Every structure is written in structure tokens, then in C-alpha cells.
């Protein structure tokens, strides 16, 4: 008889994907850099008291516009290649994508309105103390959440500890 022995990963080795916890849905961070070196950052933190299913719907709704546009364009090109009149194809695409977008927007309204949002914009070309201070604040909040999220997924942080960090970051973002 062979007994399989499994050990938990050490802190020096990465956690196997099978042992990882699911990604917590606390919100999102987006950054963009303009043509002239202006860095714009937005951190959205969902309320820790909101149900997880609603936070998942909010994340789905956030990417729906890009998905609907890209998918609609591909379907429209396919319809044009199949000989379907372009106007008819646009009407059908709009009839499918718009109601889904409206349902997603309505379903996620409460989560989006309760979310704490921190924005910062600073120039990379000239010194801007106010913009840099706002960026440092946003980075500190984002770093704490991203680090806690990674530690939670790796198993180094338990659920209540992650939630404490999330609540603190949410309160800091609201202040």
C-alpha cells in the first residue's frame, strides 16, 4: 500500500494553482498614460459589506462595453461577409447588446454607488506637488489591497485578516 504524502508549500516556493484561493473581488485599479506624460490613476474599492455576487456582476459590467463593441464589430463583419444587409445586422446586434448592458447597469447600481473611488493625475514632465501627493496616497491604498489580495490567494493571509485590510483601505479611500 502506497500512501501519498503532500506537504504545504514553503514560503520560498510558489503556491501551486490547485492550492490557491479564488481572487477576492474588492474592486479595481486602472492607470493610463497620456501622450504628454500625464499619468491618470483610478482606484475603485467596493464596499466590504456588499454581497460577493453583486461585486462579480460589477466587474462583469465594467468590461461589458469593450466586449459588446468588439463582439458586435466581429458579428457585423461576419454578417456582411454572409451577405446580410449591414443595417439589419446593426439592428440585431443593438437589440441583443443594449438590453444586456441596461440589465448589467441596473443590477450593479447599488455596488457602484457604494464604492469608494480615489483618483490621481500627475505630470511626468513637470513637478506637481499636489498631484504627486494624491498619487502617493492612491498608490499606498492600492499597494495594501493588492498585497493583501496576493497574500490571501497564496494562503498567507486568512479571510478575516484580508477583510480588515479591505475595510481599512475602504475607510481611508472615503476620507
Last residue of a domain, one of 90, 114, 138: 114
Residue finishing a domain among 114, 131, 155: 114
120 & 157 share domain:
yes
Residues 103 and 137 reside in one and the same domain = no
Q: What is the residue range of 65's domain?
A: 61-114
Indicate if 105 and 144 belong to the same structural domain: no
Is residue 6 situated within a structural domain?
no
Give the H/E segment covering residue 43. strand 38-45
**pTM of the shown model:** 0.76
119 and 42 part of one domain: yes
Residues 6+ apart with CB under 8 A from 88: 79
Percentage of the chain modeled with pLDDT above 70: 86
Q: What's the whole-number mean pLDDT along residues 130-149?
A: 88
Instruction: Say whether both 39 and 69 belong to one domain.
Output: no
Q: Mean pLDDT for the chain?
A: 85
**How does pLDDT run across 156-167, given as a tens digit for each residue?**
888 889 999 999
In a domain, 30, yes or no: yes
Is the same domain home to 158 and 145? yes
Higher-confidence residue: 17 or 41?
41
Residue 7 has pLDDT above 70, yes or no: no
The per-residue pLDDT for 18 is 45
Asked if residue 136 is part of any domain, the answer here is yes
Q: Is pLDDT of 102 > 70?
A: yes
Q: Is the dihedral of CA 167, 168, 169, 175 positive or negative?
A: positive
Same domain, 32 and 68: no
Q: Clarify whether residues 69 and 29 are in a common domain.
A: no
Q: Would you say residue 143 lies in a domain?
A: yes
**Within this chain, do residues 101 and 65 fall inside the same structural domain, yes or no?**
yes
Core vs surface per residue 93-118: b (16+ CB within 10 A) or e: beeebeeeeeebeeebeebbeebbeb
Answer yes or no: is 51 within a domain: no
pLDDT at 3: 43
In a shared domain, residues 120 and 132: yes
Instruction: Please state the domain count of the chain.
Output: 2
**Mean pLDDT, residues 15-44 taken together:** 80
Would you say residue 103 lies in a domain? yes
Domain-located, residue 150: yes
pLDDT per residue as tens digits for the range 60-87: 999 999 999 999 999 999 999 999 999 9
Between 13 and 167, the more confident residue is 167
pLDDT band at 17 (very low <50, low <70, confident <90, very high): low
Residue 12 lies in a domain: no
The predicted structure's pLDDT at residue 14: 58
Residue, of 86 and 37, whose pLDDT is higher: 86
Examine the fold and report which residue of 114, 131, 154 is the final residue of a domain before the chain moves on.
114
Least confident of 15-24, 47-56, 109-118: 15-24
Amino acid at each position: 500500500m502506497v500512501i501519498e504524502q503532500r506537504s504545504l508549500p514553503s514560503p520560498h516556493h510558489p503556491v501551486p494553482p490547485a492550492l490557491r484561493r479564488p481572487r477576492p473581488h474588492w474592486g479595481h485599479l486602472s492607470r493610463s498614460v497620456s501622450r504628454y506624460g500625464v499619468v491618470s490613476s483610478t482606484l475603485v474599492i467596493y464596499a466590504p459589506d456588499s454581497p460577493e455576487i453583486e461585486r462579480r456582476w460589477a466587474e462583469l459590467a465594467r468590461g461589458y462595453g469593450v466586449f459588446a463593441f468588439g463582439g458586435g464589430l466581429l458579428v457585423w463583419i461576419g454578417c456582411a461577409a454572409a451577405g446580410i444587409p449591414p443595417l439589419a445586422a446593426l439592428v440585431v446586434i443593438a437589440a441583443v447588446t443594449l438590453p444586456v448592458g441596461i440589465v448589467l447597469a441596473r443590477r450593479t447600481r447599488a455596488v457602484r454607488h457604494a464604492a469608494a473611488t480615489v483618483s490621481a493625475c500627475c505630470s511626468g514632465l513637470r513637478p506637481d506637488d499636489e498631484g504627486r501627493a494624491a498619487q502617493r496616497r492612491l498608490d499606498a491604498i492600492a499597494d495594501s489591497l493588492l498585497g493583501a489580495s496576493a497574500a490571501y490567494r497564496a494562503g498567507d493571509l486568512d479571510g478575516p485578516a484580508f477583510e480588515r485590510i479591505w475595510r481599512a483601505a475602504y475607510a481611508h479611500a472615503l476620507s
